[in-house]
Structures are given as C-alpha cells and as structure tokens.
Homo-oligomer: A and B are copies of this chain.
Amino acid sequence: MQGQQQQAYDRGITIFSPDGRLYQVEYAREAVKRGTPSVGVRTPEGVVLAADKRRRSKMIEPDSVEKLHKADEHIGIASAGHVADARQLIDVARREAQTNRLRYGEPITVETLSKTVTDFIQQYTQYGGARPFGVSLIVGGVTNGRPRLFECDPSGTPYEWQALSVGANRSDIRDHLEAEYEDDMSLEAGVGLALSALAVHDDEEMTPDGVDIATIDVDTEEYVHLPPEEVETHLEKRDLLADDESGDAQ
C-alpha cells in the first residue's frame, strides 16, 4: 500500500489497517529508533544495563541525560526513544515497585514489574484519546537470585532476553550480541559485551561520560551505577576508549 492509501489507516490512533497492522504502534517504534541505543546483557552472575548517552552539546550535563533508571533496589531500567515518554513509564514502574513492597512486604519480581508496565502500555494502543508511548524499555534485575532481563516495546508486548538492544542500529547491535554472547559469561564479561555492543553504534570509540552502565549482581541483588572511573577502565580493557580530542570539559 502506498502514499494516499496508507494515510487512510495511519491517521487514526486505534484502528487496524486492511493487512492487520496498527500503524501508530509501528510509528512509535520509529520514534524508538530515533533514540540512541541501550543494551542489556544477562549473565549467570547478574544483569548488565548500558546506554549511549552522548549529548547534542558538550554543555549539557552528562548526568542529566537519563537513559538508566533505578526502579527499585534490585531492578534497573534502560530506555531508548522519546525521553519525556520514558520518564512517565519509569514513574509507573517505580510506583508499582513501591506499592508491591507496601502491600506484600517484599520486593516485586522483575517479571511482574515488566508485565505491569507492558499492560499499561497496551492501553495506549487500544483506546482513543491518547497516542502510544514512543519508547522501549529494558527491565533488568534479580529475583530470588535469578537474573532476569525483559523488553517492553510500544505495542505492550513483554519478551525475556539473554541479551538485547533497543534504539538506533538495533539490528547491527543484535548481530553483534548474537555473535559474542556466551551462556556462562562473568558479569564483567557482560559489561564488556554491552560496551562493545554500543560501540557498534558509536564507531568503536567512546568516552566515559558518553556511556552509562549499571549492574545488578545475583549475590547482592542491588542496582549499582558504575562510576566514570570504572567505565573508563572497562573501555580501556576493551580498547574502546576514545582519543583525547573529546571536548567534554569535565
């Protein structure tokens, strides 16, 4: 279907096209692709979340480019796409996690949290009066010592992955992940894989404040945001550290 005909079906938010597609959801996926990539890697020792946070301007504070979010003590969320939309979903996730602790006296499982978020997203694809969310999330964490890693996409479908990326260059990064992933990686190897995956998008060179990394270790079950020094160490080890011409002043 081309041009004028297609328009007939993608103008309305909540209707099907003759071939059974929801264009608004597919366009929301395009909004995700416009965002810099985020990556998740699951290893037996824990989960790694990583995000490209390069800025439009060197005068933007790196910390204010929010791509990684702590949803609860034991769960982190990486996002790609429309930043303002991501903030709304992170807020939903945090409230849900808090409510779970209050109501049941225990931390929410990674799976429950992911599915609560996707069910919330689905509503915006079926009912009128609002547009879908233009963002994809990677929800990673540890439940009862078991590392879990989920994707929440604009259609509201939850999938569990061993390793995945969302955002720009998705298919190239996926090829890299499929080629390099190993079932029995250490958490450190997972960090390395995540960084090399982002490097696919970044033409192989990164700066410590151009990337964000967090891990949730199966032992501590705690979300840990890596300080720039550690990120730098990892980049060096992987030979991904950019030369010094980085103009970022801090």
Contact = CB atoms under 8 A, between A and B. Distances in A.
Given A20-B30, A30-B19, A63 B160 contact: yes
A20 B16 contact: no
Given A59-B177, A130-B128, A17 B27 contact: yes
B8 A31 contact: no
A24 B15 contact: yes
Interface stretch (A84-92, A200-208, A216-224): A84-92
Interface residues of A, number: 78
Interface stretch (A71-79, A149-157, A235-243): A149-157
Given A158-B64, A159-B61, A159-B65, A87 B131 contact: no
A169 to B, nearest CB: 15
A94 interface: no
Interface string A152-196: 000111111111100000000010011001010000000000000
A88 B119 contact: yes
A20 B15 contact: no
A155 B83 contact: yes
Contacts of A115: 87
Interface string A35-51: 00000000000000000
A31 B20 contact: yes
Interface string A1-23: 00101111111111111111111
A109 to B, nearest CB: 13
A174 B57 contact: yes
A250 interface: yes
Contacts of A15: 11, 13, 24, 27, 131
A249 B161 CA distance: 13
29 contacts: A8-B11, A14-B130, A15-B24, A15-B27, A16-B24, A16-B131, A16-B132, A16-B134, A18-B27, A19-B30, A19-B34, A20-B29, A20-B31, A20-B33, A59-B178, A60-B159, A60-B160, A60-B162, A64-B150, A64-B160, A83-B155, A83-B157, A84-B122, A84-B157, A87-B115, A87-B156, A91-B119, A127-B130, A183-B249
A129 to B, nearest CB: 5
